[in-house]
Amino acid sequence: MATEETKMNSGWADQDQVPGIKSELMELNMGPQHPATHGVLRLLLETDGEIVYKVTPVLGYLHRCAEKIAEGINYKQWVIYTDRFDYLAPMCCNHAYVTAVEKLMDVEVPERAEHLRVVAAELSRIASHLIALATFGLDMGAWTPLLYCFREREVILDLLERIAGGRMLYNYMVPGGVRYDVPDERWVSDVLEFITMLETKKIKDYNQLLSYNKIFIGRLGNVAVISKQDAFDYGCTGPVLRGSGVKFDCRKDDPYSVYHKFDFDVPVGMGEMGTVGDCWDRYMVRVREIEEACKIVRQALDSLPGGSCQAIELKKPVKVPAGAAYSRTESAKGEMGHYIISDGGQTPFRNKVRSPSFCNLQVIEKVGVGQMVSDLVAFVGSLDIVLGEIDR
């Protein structure tokens, strides 16, 4: 049975204090194929009526042994596996991996390639956040924002297809640079036109339809509050950490690539619709990050230098000196890290991935206790997890 502390946290009176009423906890499976789990995630719940007394994430349904596979193929070949981690923001995953390989190789990436990497990663971040907004709204019963967000995401996919050749899995960034230069002069102007439209019109539409909708705020304000201490204790990063009021972003606090050249802010939760760290704060951080990503893209394209976009021969396998390196980048979901150990050959001795969604999900065991089942749905949506990155 639930502990006294759990019962008090739930806000419900002890059952023993209600004459004639007797109940027991029920095990309830949410997932692995459930419309509110955002992937093949299984949540094992213990509930008393609508109140959750325990929640345990059960993982592994999408496990593909990606880190073990890395030990048997060349460093360049493994880039395609990073696409499949966070398949909603694959460019960010490419960026984290190639940065670690370049640290080991001590390779200087051409400036033009760095700018194109930033543009691709930030467009990928916007596309990922649009999915987060759309599906979160759908979880809360709002259908129209999904159509709006997917419409804008389609434009991003078209732009990335023109530069990388794929719509979803790109294999674009490689050790030493990027695989392709911009396809034509019009591509740059099309990107700038899109982000201008996003800044001036589309974000306002999202806010009017969803962000400041009274029902939406009522479902999210003061719900599933993650305190700063809980966020630290569970290793939360990205919008989940910043939603709790912590102004930490790898692009600012541990700069990589050419992010140090660009002027942008790091949005944090401020408790505008309830308590700092609630579901609405985590949602709103992503909306504001779309605006900041637009600023970065514009600056990167306005200052796009000439020259080469690749420092290493693409057709030859990469041979990496012996050693170890760790790199971390700010993915759409949070801090993504790669730890690579090389024995001096063409394949890594060991490749370990630190995925943000895996760490962010763990906090559900603490904060999910005492929530109603419907609020747990809102909580999962506000974490914006992706199972490709969790299971790997």
Of 125, 138, 56, give the one whose Cα is nearest residue 88: 125
Beta-carbon contacts of 57 under 8 Å, excluding residues fewer than 6 positions away, are 41, 42, 43, 44, 361, 362, 364, 365
Write down the pLDDT at residue 27: 87
Alpha carbon distance 149, 147 (integer Å): 6
Write down the pLDDT at residue 345: 86
Write down the pLDDT at residue 38: 79
Boundaries of every domain in the chain: 4-58, 66-376
Look at the chain and count its residues. 392
Indicate the residue type of 185.
E
Write down the pLDDT at residue 168: 86
Write down the pLDDT at residue 1: 40
User: In Å, what is the CA distance from 63 to each residue of 29, 84, 389?
Assistant: 20, 11, 9
- What per-residue string of b and e applies to 108-143 under the rule 16 or more CB within 10 Å gives b? ebbbbbbbbbbbbbbbbbbbbbbbbbbbbbbbbebe
Write down the pLDDT at residue 17: 55
Task: Please write the tens of the pLDDT for every residue from 251-278.
Answer: 999 898 899 999 999 999 998 888 888 9
> Would you identify the CATH topology of the domain 66-376?
Cytochrome-c3 Hydrogenase; chain B (1.10.645)
Name residues of the chain where pLDDT drops below 70: 1-22
What pairs with residue 325 in β-bridges?
A: 340
Alpha carbon distance 288, 310 (integer Å): 33
145 upstream amide cis, omega within 30 of 0: no
Neighbours of 56 (CB within 10 A): 12
Three-state secondary structure string covering the chain? CCCHHHHHHHCCCCHHHCCCCCCCCEEEEECCCCCCCCCCCEEEEEEECCEEEEEEEECCCCCCCHHHHHHHCCCCCCHHHHHCCCCCCHHHHHHHHHHHHHHHHCCCCCHHHHHHHHHHHHHHHHHHHHHHHHHHHHHCCCCHHHHHHHHHHHHHHHHHHHHHCCCCCCCCEECCEECCCCCCHHHHHHHHHHHHHHHHHHHHHHHHHHHCCHHHHHHHCCCCCCCHHHHHHCCCCHHHHHHCCCCCCHHHHCCCCCHHHCCCCCCCCCCCCCCCCCHHHHHHHHHHHHHHHHHHHHHHHHCCCCCCCECCCCCCCCCCCCEEEEEEEECCCCEEEEEEEECCCCCCCEEEEECHHHHHHHCHHHHCCCCEHHHHHHHHHHHCCCHHHHHC
